[in-house]
């Protein structure tokens, strides 16, 4: 873990926006009227998917993928001007939030400015032609970090943006040498000492496959040397299998507990139910009560919380990265009241605290506890919205349900779960 990581990031709420699809207009300016609503969700950090120009050569769909970056140092003219973006960042700051942008440093589009100016910065296949190591990313070509001049260029770009924004979400950070990220963090700190670094680590199976093929893929544990936060892709495949009914809940929760054993004490995983690369949670979870349980569990987990724009409106359609595909804000469903309550609870939780979970596989109920300098908290989450009497790690007594405002009675070490999520504070069992 980076030694200067702000521990408060463990309880941060990050709201992810794809400019093209956030509004009908798809511009920086069109986001401005929505900032108050975003702030009121409890958002601490607004993260923008790549805002740079998109390559045309080999593009996917009619508009191309934002991760096929054409120019690191400008903004996509379809979104507006640099001044438009700076105004948007200023307005985010004025509301007490911070701003993070996506940086794609593993690859560029084939027609990028960087390739035109520095073709020596790029990986070449056995045929001597630029390409990518994984083979199936047809709209990008990989960078070659054995060229130290590339390091200078990329760090200069990061320093430029660090003068405008507050942090970086680093795309497929695992595929870029850790030594580069450590050097970049040190250099950027001279411009913005509080810069936030979020690593998109890769799925466990993907990283293993890459290493098997002789492709560099940094281990999740080692990424903490340079990054403040990283994705929870080390256990995401298990979560997806649970959603699909392929494994028991206890299997997934065991992996959550395993993270406590293998990562630094102040580790911070980015927790999410969905993101721009994953299916919407509502495509799996159709029951409204079950959805409230999943959402409450998300906020209770140890680590920063990610909301992907549209999640609050229970969108079940994942917007296309390659086409104009605005999120639906008129679903008639809105999780905002719950999200606001959960944001308040999350701020009560400690940092560097102890986390433990147990599963009742028969009823699909997760029981979790967090214990630290701010007290002992218990969460009960019925992921199939089933009712059951369930054992909880709390002394017998009556406690306030922080979610519903009612009471939680613990008797003989058990409480009655009605199918609604429960979070309460209690003394810790000795």
Average confidence score pLDDT of the chain: 96
The H or E element that residue 10 is part of is: none
The mean pLDDT value for 335-360 works out to 95
Pair 145, 180: CB distance under 8 Å: yes
Tokens 């999200």 locate to 339
430: pLDDT strictly greater than 90: no
Phi then psi dihedrals of residue 315, to 5 deg: -60, 135
- The pLDDT assigned to 129 comes to 93
Tell me the domain boundaries of the chain. 7-352, 359-426
Contacts of 136 (CB under 8 A, 6+ apart): none
Percent of the chain scoring above 70 in pLDDT: 100
Which tokens sit at 356? 């433990």
Q: At what angle do helices 204-212 and 233-243 cross, to 10 degrees?
A: 120
Cα separation, 98 vs 195, in Å, equals: 10
Mean pLDDT of 305-323: 97
CA nearest to 223, candidates 176, 188, 259 = 176
Same fold: 7-352 with 359-426:
no
Of 182, 181, 173, 69, nearest to 115 by C-alpha is 69
Amino acid 255: pLDDT? 97
* CB hemisphere CA count around 13 (13 angstroms): 25
The pLDDT value recorded for residue 222 is 96
From 3.30.465.10, 2.40.180.10, 3.30.365.10, 2.60.40.1180, which CATH number describes the 359-426 domain?
Answer: 2.60.40.1180
SS3 at position 430: coil
pLDDT digits (tens, 9 = 90+) for 190-208: 999 999 999 999 999 999 9
The three-state secondary structure class of 416 is strand
Nearest to 270 by CA among 217, 321, 201, 189: 201
Confirm if 334 and 313 have CB atoms less than 8 A apart: yes
pLDDT in tens, 399-425: 999 998 899 999 999 999 999 999 999
Per-residue model confidence (pLDDT) at position 1: 61
Task: Quick: pLDDT tens for 15-57.
Answer: 999 999 999 999 999 999 999 999 999 999 999 999 999 999 9
Q: What is the mean pLDDT of residues 87-115?
A: 98
Q: Tell me the C-alpha distance between 375 and 371, whole Å.
A: 6
177-191, 220-234, 284-298, 343-357: range with lowest mean pLDDT: 343-357
Mean pLDDT, residues 143-165? 98
Kindly report the number of other CB atoms within 10 A of residue 157's CB atom. Answer: 17
Q: Reduced to 3 states, what is the DSSP secondary structure of residue 226?
A: coil
Superfamily of the domain at 7-352: Glycosidases (3.20.20.80)
């Amino acid at each position: 873990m980076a030694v200067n990581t702000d521990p408060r990031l463990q309880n941060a709420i990050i709201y992810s926006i794809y400019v093209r699809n956030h509004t009908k207009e798809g511009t920086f300016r069109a986001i401005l009227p929505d900032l108050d609503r975003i702030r009121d969700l409890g958002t601490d950090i607004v993260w923008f998917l790549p805002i740079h120009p998109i390559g045309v050569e080999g593009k996917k769909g009619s508009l191309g993928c934002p991760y096929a970056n054409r120019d690191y140092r400008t903004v996509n003219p379809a979104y507006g001007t640099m001044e438009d973006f700076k105004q948007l960042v200023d307005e985010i700051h004025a509301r007490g939030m911070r701003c993070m942008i996506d940086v794609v440093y593993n690859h560029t589009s084939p027609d990028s400015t960087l390739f035109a100016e520095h073709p020596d910065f790029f990986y070449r296949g056995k045929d001597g032609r630029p390409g990518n190591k994984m083979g199936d990313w047809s709209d990008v070509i990989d960078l070659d970090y054995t060229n130290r001049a590339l390091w200078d260029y990329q760090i200069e770009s990061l320093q430029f943006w660090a003068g405008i924004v507050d942090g970086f979400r680093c795309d497929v950070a695992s595929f870029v040498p850790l030594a580069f990220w450590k050097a970049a963090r040190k250099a950027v700190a001279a411009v913005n000492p509080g810069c936030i670094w979020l690593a998109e680590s890769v799925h466990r199976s993907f990283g293993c496959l890459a290493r098997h093929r002789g492709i560099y893929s940094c281990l999740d544990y080692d990424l903490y040397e340079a990054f403040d936060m990283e994705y929870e892709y080390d256990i995401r495949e298990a979560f997806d299998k649970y959603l699909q009914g392929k494994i028991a809940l206890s299997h997934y929760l065991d992996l959550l507990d395993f993270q406590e054993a293998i990562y630094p004490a102040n580790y911070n995983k980015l927790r999410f139910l969905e993101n721009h690369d994953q299916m919407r949670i509502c495509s799996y979870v159709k029951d409204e009560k079950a959805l409230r349980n999943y959402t409450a569990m998300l906020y209770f987990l140890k680590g920063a919380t990610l909301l992907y724009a549209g999640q609050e409106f229970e969108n079940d359609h994942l917007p296309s990265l390659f086409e104009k595909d605005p999120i639906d804000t008129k679903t008639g469903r809105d999780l905002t009241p719950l999200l606001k309550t959960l944001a308040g609870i999350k701020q009560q939780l400690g940092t560097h605290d102890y986390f433990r979970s147990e599963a009742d596989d028969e009823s699909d109920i997760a029981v979790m506890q967090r214990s630290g300098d701010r007290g002992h908290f218990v969460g009960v989450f019925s992921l199939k919205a089933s009712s059951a009497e369930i054992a909880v790690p709390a002394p017998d007594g009556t406690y306030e349900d922080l979610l519903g405002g009612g009471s939680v009675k613990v008797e003989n070490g058990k409480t009655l779960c009605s199918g609604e999520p429960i979070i309460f504070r209690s003394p810790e069992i000795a």
